[in-house]
Structures are given as structure tokens and as C-alpha cells.
Amino acid sequence: MTEKFDIVVIGGGPGGARAANRCAQKGANVALIEKESLGGICLNRGCIPLKALLASAHQLLAAKNAEKMGIETESVKPNWQTIQQRKNNLVDKLRKDMTASMKAGKAKLIQGRAIVTEPNKIQVKTDEGQINLEAEKIILATGSAPIQLPQIPFDGQTVISSNEALSLTDLPPSLIIIGGGVIGCEMACLYAAMGTQVTVIEALEQLIPMEDQWVGRLLKREFEKLGIKVITKQKVSSLLKNNNKAKLQLDNGQQIETQKVLIAVGRKSICDKETIQNLNLETNGSEIKVNEKLQTSAPNVFALGDVIGTTYLAHGATYEAEIAAVNATGGNKTITDYSIIPRTVYAFPEIASVGKTMNDCKAEEIDISVGKAFFRANGRAVAQDEIVGEVRALRNKTDDKIIGITMVGQIVTELASLATTIIQNGKVTNISFPHPTFSETLQEAVENTRLK
């Protein structure tokens, strides 16, 4: 027997779940298929567990620095097992809440591995057997997996991915992180705060290479204060394992020993090969190609999130889910400017940026004025002893619009939506900034673009 739906969504991560809910809210008969745990990588092996661990790390650093705030404390140290248990409990609760919410909604949740056999037919292999489905539209949201270096393959023990790094039973005395991007920098802060000797190796010129040079310089300075050693413009040429330890050799001949090696050089899109072949989908490497409506090359099949490789961000996937849901239910909506999706890094300090960078403007020959403001001059930041960082805003001199905002500092990720609003309006319009708040530094940076 074949069960029929208007729309079948494959993949229950943030993007897939949002798309299924939105389609159901628009009156469609929807099925959501997830082969593992609802919530995808973000909830189970990514954003949420890492942020839970980082929250513990932040509390630990705050406790160690409490004396300067007038708080007397005795010896402060991490209990890694308790920290891990808290993280696991938190993820379990959020997963149960998300599952209950989906079941209470209008979309049908099916647990199993889905393979699209034809543009409107899906086979789902479950623990109870195979289920056959038909759908007028299909949305693929199958996610991504950590990239493996050919010369340094994962072994799950000495050479690990972010999956294992989130669930280590013991704190390693030393850790080398290959990759100075988002995941590498967040992991570096976590383990350095816990007392691990951390080294970050980045092949490009700076940490967080997608942002401007000043961001990389500031982050490196603060990392060194945490005891993190940063090596840039170097690649790892080989690795030798011996007695659960590793010795890495860099291109310049330098050798470094460590107990564990975390490969954090990015993620790659994943989708069942059978589905790609059966639908004859156009791809770019592992990524599924889509147009500005998120339609694939197959009729009535849409794709979003990591599987199309646009942002590799959970909130990027949910943004795309809104577009895909509209179009899958008969609408006509497009997405053309991905720069308005905030880029966030939850390191110590945090980074948040929206719109164009200074590097972008230089490459596109856009004449800009740059406004700067510093948290060391912000009343709330000084009161809380969180004075590290700054905000830079970019104004296009041609049309007088704000086209880029980059922020480094405490809780700047919480200001990303406000920065997005400013970018979309092109200016600060009818926004009252409470005093004293960190947000006033953002306001000041925007206003200072007119001083150039």
C-alpha cells in the first residue's frame, strides 16, 4: 500500500523541520522523514551541544576572574563528567520537546531512511519494514558531514571529527586543531578554557578566513591570552601515531606532538547516492544545485540547507526553508542575497557579521566609509568587564547606505538580527537603543561612518 502526500520532506534538521511545519501550516498534507534523531546535526552533534559546553567554559572563565569583580572564590576547576552530563541532558530534553512539537503539529513524522526512486515516489526503510510514499513535491534537507583529510583519516580515537570532540569522556592534556574556521575556533576556546594545551593550525593567513583581517588579528590576540597557540599559513603534511599519541609534521618541517588531533576543515553535503541518481540531479561536487527558488534540476523537487552548500548554518537552512515552503505550496519567492544571513562564531570573543566585508568592497570596487566603535568605551561593557572587541560598519558612499556590519565582542551574536535590520533598511531608522547596552556600540559605529 502506498501512502500519498502533497509534500514529503527528507531530513529532520532545522531546515527540514521548519519546511515541513510551514508547508503544513499552509494546508498541505506533509510527511517529514528522518533516519536518525530529529533535530539533525545542529541539535544532536553540532550547534546545541557545543554551545552547552561553551556555556560551561564561559562560566569557568568568569569564576576564575571573579576576584577582580569583588567576588572571593576558592579553587575553581571543571568537572568534565558533570559538564558532559549536563550537555547530554540538555540535548535530550530539546530533542524530546522538538519531537513532541512535531507530533502535535500537522506534519506526519516518519522514522527511517528515505530513498527517492522517482520524482514523486519515495521508499522508506524503517525498523518495521518498508513504507512506500507518493508526493507531488519533495524537499531534500539531508544535511552534511565533517570533511576528512586524505592524508590524516579519522580513526575516532587519536584523529577525531567534531562528532567525537563533543563527547570525549576525558579532557585531553593536549589537542591540535587543524582548521581555524568556525568549528575549529569554537572548539579551541572550549578546550583551552578547560585546561587543555591547544594549538590551532590554519592553512590560510588568518583565523576565520572569511572575515576581514582585523577580525583575525583580534581573535589571535585573545586566543593567545587563553593560552591557545595559533599557527597560520601552514599545512600538515603527515601524521605519525604511536601509543595513542600523534606527531604532526608541517610543510615547513616543524613537528608537533599531541594526544589528540581534531580535523575541523569544514563540512560536505550528504545525500543518498540512489536519490541523486534516480532523480538525475545536477550537482557541484557533493552539493545539489538549485536555482533562486531552491528548485533542483528535477521537476517538483526542492533542496535546502547544508545539502546545497550555501551557508552551512542552521539559521541559513531555516531561512531557506521559508523560501522552499512558499514555493512548494504554489508560491513564487526567491533568495538572491545570502549576505543578509548573519555569520556567527561563538568563540571567546564572539563574532557576528552581516552584509559585505571590507574585503568584499575592495574586490567589488565599492567606495566606502568605515565607522568604528569600541566596547572599551561602552558603559555596559566596562561595568561587566567585557571590554574586548569592536564594531565596524561600512557605508556605500554612492547611495549612502549601510552595506556591512562586523562585530567582535561579548554577546555580539545577539546583536546580529539588529545588524541585519540596519543593513536591510540601509540605515538606522526609528530604532531606540537602550542605555546602557552593548547595542549602543553598534549604533555608534553606524553613526561614525559619516565622520569619514
Q: Under 8 Å CB-to-CB from 133, ≥6 apart: which residues? A: 2, 3, 4, 5, 8, 31, 121, 122, 123, 124
Cell numbers for 203? 592553512
pLDDT value of residue 186: 98
Q: What one-character DSSP code corresponds to residue 68?
A: G
Cα–Cα dist 423/354, whole Å: 8
Cα–Cα dist 371/384, whole Å: 24
Cα–Cα dist 179/164, whole Å: 16
Kindly state the greatest CA–CA separation across the chain.
70
How does pLDDT run across 57-103, given as a tens digit for each residue?
999 999 999 988 999 888 899 999 999 999 999 999 999 999 998 88
Q: How many Cα atoms sit within 13 Å of 320 on the Cβ side? A: 31
H/E segment holding residue 186? helix 182-193
pLDDT(451) > 80: no
Cα–Cα dist 14/42, whole Å: 7
Residues belonging to the chain: 452
Cα–Cα dist 319/335, whole Å: 9
Q: For residues 302 and 335, is the Cβ–Cβ distance under 8 A?
A: no
How does pLDDT run across 235-260, given as a tens digit for each residue?
999 999 888 889 999 999 999 999 99
H/E segment holding residue 19? helix 14-25
Cα–Cα dist 240/51, whole Å: 32
Cα–Cα dist 17/296, whole Å: 19
Cα–Cα dist 300/210, whole Å: 34
Catalytic positions, written as ranges: 435
Angle (nearest 5°) at CA 50 between 102 and 209: 115
Cα–Cα dist 160/177, whole Å: 10
Interhelix angle 314-328/14-25, rounded to 10 degrees, is 30
Cell numbers for 162? 567534531
Cell numbers for 7? 509534500
Cell numbers for 140? 531534500
How does pLDDT run across 29-45, given as a tens digit for each residue?
999 999 999 999 999 99
Phi, psi of 407 (to 5 degrees): -130, 135
pLDDT value of residue 73: 85
Taking residues 99-128, what's their average pLDDT?
Answer: 92
The domains of the chain, with CATH numbers, are: 2-145+268-328 (3.50.50.60), 148-265 (3.50.50.60), 349-451 (3.30.390.30)
Cα–Cα dist 418/102, whole Å: 29
Cα–Cα dist 413/436, whole Å: 18
Which 3 state secondary structure label does DSSP give 361? Answer: helix
Residues facing residue 372 across a β-bridge: 392
**Percentage of the residues of the chain whose pLDDT score is greater than 70:** 100
Q: For residues 55 and 47, is the Cβ–Cβ distance under 8 A?
A: no
Specify the pTM: 0.96
pLDDT value of residue 76: 92
pLDDT(452) > 60: no
How does pLDDT run across 367-423, given as a tens digit for each residue?
999 999 999 999 999 999 999 999 999 999 999 999 999 999 999 999 999 999 999
H/E segment holding residue 115? strand 113-118
pLDDT value of residue 170: 97
pLDDT value of residue 50: 98
Q: For residues 316 and 156, is the Cβ–Cβ distance under 8 A?
A: no
The torsion defined by the Cα of 294, 296, 298 and 299, in degrees rounded to 10, comes to 10
Q: Give the CA distances from residue 65 to residues 40, 59, 171, 273, 437, in Å, rounded to whole numbers and listed in that order.
A: 36, 10, 22, 52, 22
Cα–Cα dist 6/135, whole Å: 5
Cα–Cα dist 269/128, whole Å: 28
